């Protein structure tokens, strides 16, 4: 069934969108990731304009993270104070990101920015994850786990210290704000929640306990992506309501199925799979930039919008 | 030059009454509505030739039908290899290019229409793209307009359909023009020309109105006129849909 998307101004198959949402949902349920970093490139591949894909994906992430945040709040696994500090950084980052996005859109380089960011981040995260999970796989076969030590790093010597009781931390607010800014920028230009950057940063850089990491990052993501959605909607008019709802319905159902599959697989195997998938998407986007395109010209709207 | 022009005018005006053929035409629809399930539309254009005297026998009658979407300024960008990757480098702004352009003819266009009349009546797609007030660049604008035509031909927005006008006994004609699903809104200027020996003998002009309607119209207007409300609304709808879908799924699994 073809459906006409009023904002993207293209006609696409509704079942294709539901299916895409479902597949990405299954993957995100299996691996416990947001899925924005997979969905946005897939939307490029089916012909949704990148500006619409990025803005709409931000909208979708708000909705798909909503029930997760509620569950974590109920279980009290959200460090609200840390969440608010990360959020302040995130809002600044999102505002900067949308400015950058619009400036590059005006000179016709926004596609390049979005695609390069994807290649860069997916490449780094994918290879790190791959190396780390292969190592973990080897270790579980060897049968010995090395206990983690908490180190006193440069992070602990910065000013403006603050107590974060839920996380049991007494650290400077500068690193979490910087992490928030980075994630906000990524949310605005890549249409991702940024969990894949924030979660490792919270664990390794800030030293937060693992049990509050997911809830806190979701708490930050939901507000930052909501803010990003509003910024894109008011400056670019690129949020497509219909597209978001279709992807979401598929995504929510997929996530539930994925979560059930995920329980049956081993965590290390899952991570190897996820790492491979991230690298495949990265490779495809990278090749598109490297190989000479068949059509060297492209049409854009004149003089901005 | 002036003398040449006046001779030209004389020829044109002398030629017109001599042929004394008039085109009368109709459309299957002069309104196209873009709804949520819009997959494109086909318009039947038909008509007849009205004449008081028997048709001249020296050259055959030909028909050209042009459907033209609203024109907008466009930027055409060219990719170049920089630091090993393909990025947009040179670009050119074209003053106006139609968003849709279909030409249907009853014989190959070069036989149907002289270059002079093509220039005068702006019939082939190359003539309809205005590059005149483009700022000076060292790029050849023709490369860019050719690329524009090539890209839009690929997405079915520009098309030249030779021999697709059915002409019966030099009197009745009909053709079909397909509007693809990716057309934009606006007034589509529709022109019909009768030609003899490459010269336009008569012309007829009408308008097809293409518009988003219903929900599509409402969403588009809200997004552009009340973007903040639209943004908040899309968040609320998305959250409600996500919540609803997961609640429904849980209910289904339980039973």
Question: Is B181 within 8 Å of A63 when comparing Cβ atoms?
Answer: no
Helix (H, G, I), strand (E, B) or coil at A6: coil
B161/B112 same-domain check: yes
Claim: this prediction has a pTM higher than 0.80: no
CA contacts within 13 A on the Cβ side of A38: 24
Searching chain A, which residue's CA lies closest to the CA of residue B212? A6
Span B109-123, average pLDDT:
84
CA distances from A178 to A212, A230, A244 (A): 19, 22, 30
Least confident of A133-147, A175-189, B55-69: A133-147
B105/B184 same-domain check: yes
Contact B125, B166 (CB under 8 A): no
Assign B183 to helix, strand or coil. Answer: coil
Whether B252 has a pLDDT exceeding 90, the answer reads no
**What ranges in A191-266 are assigned the alpha helix state H?**
195-200, 210-235, 241-264
The answer to whether B75 contacts A234, with C-beta atoms less than 8 Å apart, is no
Q: Is residue A91 scored above 90 in pLDDT?
A: yes
Whether B75 shows a pLDDT value over 60: the answer reads yes
For residue A35, pLDDT over 80 is answered with no
Any residues with CB less than 8 A from the CB of A280 and at least 6 apart, and which?
Answer: none
Strands (E), chain B: 21-27, 31-34, 41-51, 61-68, 71-82, 85-98, 101-105, 158-161, 166-168, 172-179, 186-196, 199-212
Percent of chain A with pLDDT over 90: 4
Q: Please list, residue by residue across A116-138, b when 16 or more beta carbons sit within 10 angstroms of its beta carbon and e when fewer do.
A: bbbbebbbebbeebbeebeeebe
Please report the pLDDT score of residue A96 as a whole number.
92
Mean pLDDT for the stretch of residues A175-204: 85
Distance CA A36, CA A60 (A): 9
pLDDT for A167 beyond 80: no
**What SS3 state is found at A236?**
coil
Rg for chain A (alpha carbons), in Å? 20
Q: Are residues B99 and B167 in the same domain?
A: yes
- Is the domain of B38 the same as that of B114? yes
Residues of A in contact with B147 (CB under 8 A): 295-297
Q: Which residue range is the domain that position B31 belongs to?
A: 21-212
3-state secondary structure of A24: helix
Residue B95's closest chain A neighbor by CA?
A302
B143 pLDDT above the threshold of 90: no
Q: What total number of domains does chain B contain?
A: 2
SS3 of A170, please? Answer: strand
pLDDT by residue (tens digit) across A92-125? 999 999 888 888 877 777 778 888 888 888 888 8
Residue B245 or B14, more confident? B245
Contact B223 A66 (CB under 8 A): no
Q: HSE on the CB side for B179, CA within 13 Å?
A: 31
The answer on B157 and B228 residing in a single domain is no
Give the DSSP H or E segment for A171: strand A169-172
Q: Does A244 touch chain B (CB under 8 A)?
A: yes
Closest-CA distance of chain A to residue B208, Å = 19
A223 vs B7, more confident: A223
Tell me, yes or no, whether B112 and B227 share the same domain: no
**B165 and B54 share one domain:** yes
**Mean pLDDT to the nearest integer, A219-236:** 88
State the Cα–Cα distance between residues B205 and B23, nearest whole angstrom. 10
Q: B242 with B190, same domain? A: no
B4 is a domain residue: no
Chain A residues with beta carbon closer than 8 angstroms to that of B153: none
Whether the per-residue pLDDT at A186 is higher than 80: the answer is yes
The reply to whether B10 falls in a domain is: no
Which long-range contacts link A280-287 to residues 24+ away (Cβ below 8 Å)? A281/A37, A281/A38, A281/A41, A281/A118, A281/A122, A282/A118, A282/A119, A282/A122, A282/A123, A282/A126, A284/A41, A284/A45, A285/A41, A285/A115, A285/A118, A285/A119, A285/A122, A286/A119, A286/A123
Residue B66 lies in a domain: yes
Please tell me whether residues B30 and B42 are part of one structural domain: yes
Can you tell me the mean pLDDT for A193-203? 81
Using an 8 Å CB-CB cutoff, list chain A residues near B93. Answer: 302-303
A130: left (phi over 0), alpha (psi -120 to 50) or beta: alpha
What CATH number is given to the structural domain containing B105? 2.60.40.3880
Q: What pLDDT, on a 0 to 100 scale, did the predictor assign at position A90?
A: 92
Tens digits of residue pLDDT in B117-137:
888 888 888 778 777 655 556
């Amino acid at each position: 069934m073809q459906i006409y998307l009023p904002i993207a101004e293209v006609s696409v198959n509704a079942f294709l969108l539901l299916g895409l949402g479902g597949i990405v949902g299954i993957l995100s349920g299996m691996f416990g990731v947001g899925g924005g970093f997979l969905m946005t490139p897939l939307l490029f591949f089916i012909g949704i304009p990148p500006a619409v894909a990025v803005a709409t994906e931000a909208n979708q992430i708000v909705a798909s993270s909503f029930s997760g945040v509620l569950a974590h709040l109920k279980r009290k696994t959200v460090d609200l104070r840390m969440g608010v500090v990360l959020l302040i950084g995130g809002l600044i980052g999102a505002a900067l990101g949308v400015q950058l996005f619009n400036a590059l859109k005006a000179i016709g380089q926004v596609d390049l920015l979005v695609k390069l960011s994807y290649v860069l981040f997916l490449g780094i995260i994918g290879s790190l994850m791959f190396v780390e999970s292969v190592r973990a796989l080897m270790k579980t076969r060897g049968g010995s786990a090395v206990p983690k030590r908490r180190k006193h790093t440069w992070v602990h010597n910065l000013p403006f210290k603050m107590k974060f009781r839920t996380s049991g931390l007494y650290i400077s607010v500068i690193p979490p704000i910087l992490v928030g800014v980075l994630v906000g920028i990524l949310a605005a230009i890549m249409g991702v929640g940024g969990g894949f950057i924030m979660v490792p940063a919270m664990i390794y850089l800030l030293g937060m306990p693992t049990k509050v990491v997911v809830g806190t990052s979701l708490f930050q993501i939901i507000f930052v992506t909501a803010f990003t959605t509003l910024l894109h909607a008011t400056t670019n008019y690129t949020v497509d309501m219909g597209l978001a709802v279709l992807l979401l319905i598929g995504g929510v159902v997929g996530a539930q199925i994925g979560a059930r599959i995920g329980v049956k697989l081993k965590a290390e195997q899952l991570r190897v799979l996820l790492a491979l998938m991230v690298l495949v998407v990265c490779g495809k986007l990278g090749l598109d930039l490297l190989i000479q395109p068949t059509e060297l010209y492209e049409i854009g709207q004149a003089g901005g919008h | 030059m002036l003398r040449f022009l006046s001779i030209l005018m004389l020829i044109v005006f002398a030629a017109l009454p001599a042929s004394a053929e008039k085109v009368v035409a109709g459309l299957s629809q002069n309104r196209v509505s873009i709804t949520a399930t819009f997959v494109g539309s086909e318009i039947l254009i038909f008509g007849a030739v009205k004449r008081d005297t028997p048709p001249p026998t020296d050259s055959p009658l030909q028909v050209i039908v042009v459907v033209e979407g609203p024109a907008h300024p466009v930027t055409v960008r060219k990719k170049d290899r920089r630091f090993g990757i393909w990025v947009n480098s040179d670009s050119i702004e074209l003053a106006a290019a139609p968003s849709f352009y279909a030409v249907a003819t009853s014989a190959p266009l070069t036989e149907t229409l002289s270059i002079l009349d093509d220039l005068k009546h702006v019939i082939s797609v190359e003539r309809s793209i205005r590059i005149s007030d483009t700022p000076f660049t060292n790029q050849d604008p023709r490369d860019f307009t050719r690329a524009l035509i090539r890209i839009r031909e690929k997405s079915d927005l520009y098309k030249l359909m030779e021999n697709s006008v059915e002409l019966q006994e030099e009197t009745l004609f009909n053709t079909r023009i397909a509007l693809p699903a990716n057309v934009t809104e606006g007034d589509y200027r529709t022109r019909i020309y009768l030609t003899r020996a490459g010269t336009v003998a008569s012309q007829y002009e009408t308008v097809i109105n293409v518009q988003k309607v219903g929900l599509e119209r409402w969403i588009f207007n809200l997004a552009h006129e009340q973007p903040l409300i639209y943004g908040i609304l899309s968040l609320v709808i998305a959250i409600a849909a996500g919540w609803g879908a997961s609640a429904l799924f849980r209910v289904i699994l339980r039973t």
